[in-house]
Structure 1
Amino acid sequence: MSIRSTVIRRTNMEHSIHSNSLRYRMHPRLALFLFILPLLLRPAFAHQIDEYLQATIVTVESNRIGLQIRLTPGVEVAPKLLGDIDVDHDGTISSQEQHAYAEQVRRDLSLMVDGSPKALRLLEVSFPDAQELTSGMHDIGLTFFANFSAGSGTRRMNLENRHRTEMAVYLVNCLKPSDSSIHIIAQKRNYSQSSYQLDFDSDSVNQTQPVTSSGLTQWLSRTGGLSVGVTYFAHGIHHILTGYDHLLFVSLLALAATTLWDLVKVVTAFTFAHSITLTLATLKLVSLPGWIVEPVIAASIVFVALQNVFWPESARGIGRLVAAFSFGLFHGLGFAGGLLDLMHTMPSGTIVFAILGFSLGVEAGHLTVLVPLYGLLLAIRFRRDALQREQLAIKMQRLGSAGVLLIGVYYLCDSLTSSS
């Protein structure tokens, strides 16, 4: 059975920008460019993957643990991985090579139940062809299982994944057991999710208790919500801080804001919009293909940058709020892409925490850029009269936006050619 992943590829395209040495005098108007420059040195799409995503779904039965693993290599690491799998280098992945690689993965997994090691056995294997594997759009599907002695009371399962740690990004979660006599008590993960602990009860009565202030902590622990929220908060921060297209877009919004209230309004519109589509896409209520989403996100950078450069006065007010909201809807679809498949397979009790944690992480990532950027803008404008502040604000807006415009045009051209 073929196991498909909807994780959107994030092709890593590391490009160095070489330039001749320039001699110049430090000028306040250059401060903004120097601040944005680090963002321009390593342009890459937020949805490009340069890691090896290993998403594990755990299933629990009365005497069996199942592991359904989806391994999705990003296009940068896929050729190396293919070279390790296709040992005879004939450009095809034979059945023997598939099972040999599955055995490598099995050896890198460690499963214990109540402190006792359990032997994992391969149940199912699914491989794309070699060309599909290197495209970043297809995954390897492996299903393992381990038997253990059935018993009543609280049980503890520990899983360690040490497969390709040098390139791996791990995700793991447990599905709600189909057996009504088995209840999940708590899930714990380390930061990287390479280590996972699951506590479950095989004979307790599942009683729904009201969520009171005294019982909230117990409810969060039992559902694993707190752990999931914290984990996805970290993923949200990482996603936005490595997503230079999103960062450039919100930086353009900040450049055109002359007051704190202007910034609050436009960021609120953007946040509200991308939160809507992030939630809807994660719940599989809205879906657009990447060949539409990626170019629109790139076009949003070009549009706002052009407006900032050539029509700076119109880059504020209701028009800018409409633009921030409209483009924010597509940015939300981009945010959802990287984690859509895993969130969708979560139990209903934890998916809310995943969405909330990831959304808050994205906003925290935005703040790490917007706060120092806006503070820098205020510092440069400080101790100038109103007319000078307005003139300087427009000059900085145009200077910074012109640099971002060049990157936006590159993003747009690249996304259009990649999707054609």
Structure 2
Amino acid sequence: MNARWLLLLLVAMLAGLAPPASAHRLNEYLQATTIALAPDHLTLHLRLTPGTDVAPQVLAGLDANHDGQLSPAEQRAYAARVQHDLALTLDGQPASLRLVDAAFPSPQQLVAGLGDMQLTFEATVPAGHSPHHLVFVNQHQPALAAYLVNCLLPRQAGLQVVSQNRNYLQSRYELTFSTASVMTAGAAATPASLHRADQRALVATYFGHGVRHILTGYDHLLFLGALVLGAASLWELVKVVTAFTLAHTLTLTLAAYQLVRVPSGLVEVLIAASIVVVAVQNVNWPGAARGPSRLLMAFAFGLVHGLGFASGLLALLHQLPREVLLLALLGFSLGLEAGQQVVLLPLFGLRRLISQRPQGAGQLVPSPVWQRVGSLSIALAGLYYLGQAVVAVL
């Protein structure tokens, strides 16, 4: 297979492997756990949010009699099932979890992706031993689940987090905490109060989420592909991608701190439109695709894509303390950038292989046929997304 066919295959994969619904479909069962420490007990709060793709499957396990309602007995049965799939040890001994609160949305809200189930458990902290070592394992529906776990920073005197460790999936979490420390009551939690290893772990966790978000965000991949097809040189691509990155970092940060709010439906429409506009410009106005107008367009659409990235980040944060949001945002942004480079550099390298007419130092004029084929394929995929997004808004 020569380079031309390889490039065409890659473009077809970007355009054709996209899922048949919204570009930000939630096809995982997000299970976010926050742990709150007290001198004599700890509280585990679980927020269980099934994505729209898997919600019917989750609901089938909830609604045992299939009457479209969640009776108190069905809610208690599901809470017991979740509890059975959780394991907690304290200082090497199994700890008993007690269900203290449960709240369930309606089945209609679950299917529409508008609600989450909230379960709160408590466990007793053994007396007379410090520091304590905790191990929490969540194995509820592992085939569907995306796990997330965080410990809330203690605000009581005599409590201090010593260290944390979690596996990549965050299905297993280890925590060492002390009941005697120099922390004062009401002390504000800041990133500086976290152990360096915990800071690195937090950044690394959200770095992974950022990479995953960009590599599974077919709309963003199509947009990046259109940028590559329109760039005449690596330096030009660097400038365009830099403008895009600066813009989406700006709106991602503002949205993460809830300083900017735009309806998600409108964001989806604008993202899909950006794919179409850039791809059509590559075909009909290739000169404009390599000038200042492309930089301005990349920046403007980057602002929109940043709002899309924010929707993915905010879905992960849940109750992460605001004081350490900056670390999560840093990791997520670095992950997005790494994911972009994983796509951009190989795709641009393939483009160079099929270039027919080098022009000047480092300059090349893309093969018009392959540029048009690739851009038209991306435009068609963008039109499909645009139709899906408009229908969802109406």
TM-score, with length taken from structure 1 = 0.86
Q: Is the 8 A contact 1:64 1:146 kept in 2?
A: yes
The reply on whether 1:235 has 2:212 as its aligned counterpart is no
Q: Deviations over 1:163-216 (max 9, x none)?
A: 0011110001011223132111222110100000111121111399xxxxxxx9
Residues 57 and 46 (structure 1 numbering): CA distance in 2 closer, same or farther, change over 3 Å? farther
Q: How many residues align?
A: 386
Q: Percent same amino acid among aligned pairs?
A: 47
1:93 aligns with 2:93: no
Q: 2:321 is matched with which residue: 333, 347, 350?
A: 347
CA shift, 1:76, in A, is: 1.7
Contact 1:121 1:146 in 2 (8 A): yes
Name the SS for the 2:149 alignment partner.
Answer: strand
Whether 1:201 aligns to 2:201 is no
Q: Conserved in 2, the CA contact under 8 Å of 1:153 and 1:204?
A: no
Q: Is the 8 A contact 1:284 1:344 kept in 2?
A: no
1:384 CA drift (Å): 4.7
For residue 126 of structure 1, report the CA deviation from its aligned partner: 1.0
Structure 1 residue 231: Cα displacement:
1.2
Contact 2:240 2:295 in 1 (8 A): yes
Alignment of 1:6-85 (within 5 A): 30-44=5-19, 45-85=22-62
Q: Is the 8 A contact 1:234 1:358 kept in 2?
A: yes
* 1:140 corresponding residue in structure 2: 117
Corresponding position of 1:289? 263
Q: List aligned pairs for 1:8-407, cutoff 5 A.
A: 30-44=5-19, 45-151=22-128, 153-206=130-183, 219-221=195-197, 224-343=198-317, 345-348=319-322, 350-381=324-355, 384=358, 392-407=366-381
The aligned amino acid for 2:305 is: H
Instruction: Tell me the distance in 1 between the aligned counterparts of 2:144 and 2:3.
Output: 41
Determine the C-alpha separation between the residues in 1 that align with 2:284 and 2:123.
Answer: 64
CA distance in 2, matches of 1:392, 1:225: 45
Give me the whole-angstrom Cα distance separating, in 1, the residues matched to 2:87 and 2:209. 24
Deviating runs (4+, > 4 A) in structure 1? 26-31, 382-386
**Cross-structure match for 1:213:** none
Task: Indicate how the Cα distance of structure 1 residues 322 and 329 shifts in structure 2: closer, same or farther if over 3 A, else same.
Answer: same
Amino acid in the other structure paired with 1:32:
L
Q: d(CA) in 2 for partners of 1:108 and 1:283?
A: 34
> How big is the shift at 1:347?
3.0
Matching residue of 1:17: none
Residue 151 to residue 348, structure 1, CA distance change in 2 (3 Å) = farther
Q: In the TM superposition, what is the alpha-carbon distance from 1:380 to its structure 2 partner?
A: 1.4
Mark the runs of 5 or more structure 2 residues left unpaired by the alignment.
none
What runs of 5+ residues in structure 1 fail to find an aligned partner? Answer: 1-25, 209-215
1:383 to 1:258, Cα distance in 2 relative to 1, 3 A: closer
